Every structure is written in structure tokens, then in C-alpha cells.
Amino acid sequence: MPIKQYNPTTPARRGMTTQDLSEITTRKPLKSLIKSKKQNAGRNNTGRITVRHRGGGVKRHYRLVNHNLPAGTTAVIEEIEYDPNRSARVARIKDQDGLYHYVLADTAMVKGKVIKSGADAPVEASNRLPFSNIPVGTQIYAIELHPGKGAQLVRSAGVTAQLMAKEGDYVQVRMPSGEVRRFRQEATAAIGMVGNIQHQNVKIGSAGRNRRKSIRPGVRGVVMNAVDHPHGGGDGGRHGTGKTPRTPWGQLALGYRTRRRKDVSQMIIKSRHDAKRKK
């Protein structure tokens, strides 16, 4: 799927690119599988802003994607659709009972293809199987973190993980970040790579396009007042941070590890930082 270039009719359009939507087979979503989505502008359930620089944007409906397709499902792909809430595409499927579902669309999904889920499903692209039935070396996506809970990992456009080894009740999976992690053999994953692989190469090109995506402007800390940011304040013209870079709340921002992994450290075999250090 190539990237589409705009004609340079304005300075913004000169550097702007967009996705090729030729793989999308319908523009109208299924009414029974969508619901209205409220814009909370980055606020949590208590009204506090937990994600900065969010607000406004185009109204959108949320697609009810099924990340926990039941075992024994045999379904036909009816449409490939655009989803405004995620980077990947979604596929509308119809199972053997006549029920419709949305699932993540991978690079091998096309209209009319039959996909299956469960331990008896063949080892083919787009099928969903438990790790115990997937051969070592297979590329996978939509991985269950806890068996039976549904896919939580490797769901973004163009990403894939790889099943590296099996030992006892666990398997080892290399994640897109380079981290090698253990999962239970009963957990499930889909075979293949998430579609829309050119998503990361799209150039936004203009500030207005970001505003329509609900992304508001970010302001540098060094141009703020001292009361608003640790980098702010000072007389004269342009200046640096004057200290080690920090967040607006004073926490170190570059290279300072904030991830607490006491509960999952025994599951991580190789850190994602190890691969970056070798480069």
C-alpha cells in the first residue's frame, strides 16, 4: 500500500502525505457494531487532565472490535473498513451463526477470505490459535497477555511479534520493541502482521490536520514562566533548560526509568533497552 502525495498547491500541502485507502471496501460501518464516543479532552473520570494537549477534533463513532473471538469460530470477511480510533484497519466478519464482529485486519485479509479461531484451526495467516499450536518462528499479532482476557498486545498498524521458543508451560515471544517476554501456552495470538503498514510514514504537513485529530499545540517549557515549568523563567533572550531536562512536574525526562515491573519482571527475559545499547 503506497503513500499518496498531495499536489503542492500550498506550503502545507507540499510536505503532506496521506494513506492510500484502496484496500478499504466500504465507507459505511455496521450500525449495530458502533457506539457514540464522547470527547473527554484528555481528562479521567474525576475530571483531571491526565493526557495533555488533547481537545476538539472531528466527531467519531467507536467500533466495537472483538479482541476475544471464541474458539471454534469460522467466519467470512465481508468488508475491510477504516477505523478513526486506531491506526490499523478493521475487518467486518460474519461467523457460522450469522453474527457480525469487527476484528483487526492484517496484511493477508481480503474480502471473501475464511478465517478460523481455536486449537483446531489450521496454521495460516489471519487464523487465531493458542501458543501451544503455533510453530516456533511464526510471526504473530493481537497477543493475549492473560489467557481468556482477549488480545491486549501488538495491535498497532504494521507491527508483528515472533514466537521464539517453547519451554514447559511458557513460550518466549520477541515483541516489536525488541523485548523478549514469556507468555502462557494457553494464551492465544493471531498469525500474521497487522495491516496498514505505511501508517508511520504519513506526514501530517499542517497544524490544522492535527487539530482535527484532537491534538492541540504543545508549548516548550523554556518559553514558559518559572511558575509553569521547571525550564521556564530567566532574563534575556533564548536560553537552554539550565538543568537536566524535566517534565512539567519536575521528574527527569530523558533516560530516567519510571516503569515499575515488580509484578512482571520474572516474565521479561530480555529488556527492550538491551537491543538499543548494542547499536
How many percent of the chain have pLDDT more than 70?
97
Q: What is the pLDDT of residues 214-245, one digit of tens each?
A: 999 999 999 999 999 999 998 878 899 989 99
Phi, psi dihedrals of residue 80, rounded to the nearest 5°:
-110, 125
| CATH class of the domain at 220-279 | few secondary structures
Average pLDDT over residues 255-273: 80
Per the prediction, the chain carries an average pLDDT of 91
Q: Give the distance from CA 208 to its chain's centroid.
A: 23
Provide the pLDDT for residue 244: 93
CA distance 145 to 95: 25
Give the domain ranges of the chain. 21-197, 220-279
- What pTM did the predictor assign? 0.85
3-state secondary structure (DSSP) of residue 104? strand
Average pLDDT over residues 52-72: 93
**pLDDT above 80 (res 263):** no
Provide the pLDDT for residue 278: 56
How many percent of the chain have pLDDT more than 90?
80
| CATH class of the domain at 21-197 | mainly beta
Give the angle subtended at the CA of 258 by the CAs of 273 and 171, to the nearest 5°. Answer: 50
3-state secondary structure (DSSP) of residue 93? strand
Provide the pLDDT for residue 1: 55
Kindly state the cell numbers that stand for 166: 517453547
> Which secondary structure element, helix H or strand E, spans residue 126, and what is its range?
none
